[in-house]
Amino acid sequence: MKYLIVGLGNPGSEYEHTRHNIGFKILDALADASNISFSDKRYGYVAEYKFKSRTFILLKPTTYMNLSGRAVNFWLQKEKIAFENLLILTDDLALPFGTLRLRGKGGDAGHNGLRSIQQVTGRSDYARLRFGIGNEFHPGQQVDYVLSEWTDEEKAALPEKIDTCIEIIQGFGTIGVARTMNQFNKRK
């Protein structure tokens, strides 16, 4: 069984530690913990992760956030992965910092990466793990906020939250989206 796990973010060192790049950060942590590394491939950095007889293709798109759909569509087709085996990892302003929400489908909620995926694939019935980044910004400062770095307090809390995200990815591939939602969405 094959899965495509896509961490949304922007390539480049200037974005590496920003809130918007939490998808990249989660996949980097998973790769580090599993002693695997990413290769620079078409439309993204790609790694292959094996867990309980499942193969997870990990993708960090290099298309920039607004064109993430190109990378997602290409890798779904290249790896012949069923659409229901797609999981997108994304930041979410509507959730308090560190809140994790797994959903089996949904709208883009104004997120440019999710909007691109829906436009290119023509579908919104894909799983997404939303990582709350909070909304501690003044009106008109949203872009600056998502592209800013984590506070020291947030940085200290990230490892535990990222570990939970890795458990959610593993659950998605082994017990499915519904059971994984039941197990993790109730956690604080």
Q: What is the pLDDT of residue 130?
A: 97
Domains of the chain, CATH where assigned? 2-184 (3.40.50.1470)
- CA 161 to chain CA centroid, nearest Å: 13
CA atoms within a 13 Å half-sphere pointing along the CA-CB vector of 178: 0
Helices (H), the chain: 22-34, 68-78, 112-121, 142-146, 152-174, 177-184
Residue 128 CA to residue 15 CA, distance in Å, equals 21
* 111: number of Cβ within 10 Å: 24
Q: What is the pLDDT of residue 188?
A: 54
Buried b or exposed e, range 46-80, using 16+ CB within 10 angstroms: bbebeeeeeebbbbbbbbbbebbbbbbbbbbeebe
Task: Give every CB contact of residue 4 below 8 A, 6+ residues apart in sequence.
Answer: 56, 57, 59, 72, 75, 76, 79, 81, 85, 86, 87
Does 1 score more than 70 pLDDT? Answer: yes
Q: Is 17 a catalytic site residue?
A: no
Does 140 score more than 90 pLDDT? Answer: no
Q: What is the pLDDT of residue 187?
A: 64
Answer whether 144's CB lies under 8 Å from 137's CB. yes
Q: For 88-99, write each residue's pLDDT tens digit.
A: 999 999 999 999
Provide the angle, in degrees to the nearest 10, between the axes of the packed helices 112-121 and 68-78.
50
Q: For 39-71, write each residue's pLDDT tens digit.
A: 999 999 999 999 999 999 999 999 999 999 999
Catalytic residue (one of 17, 20, 111, 138): 20
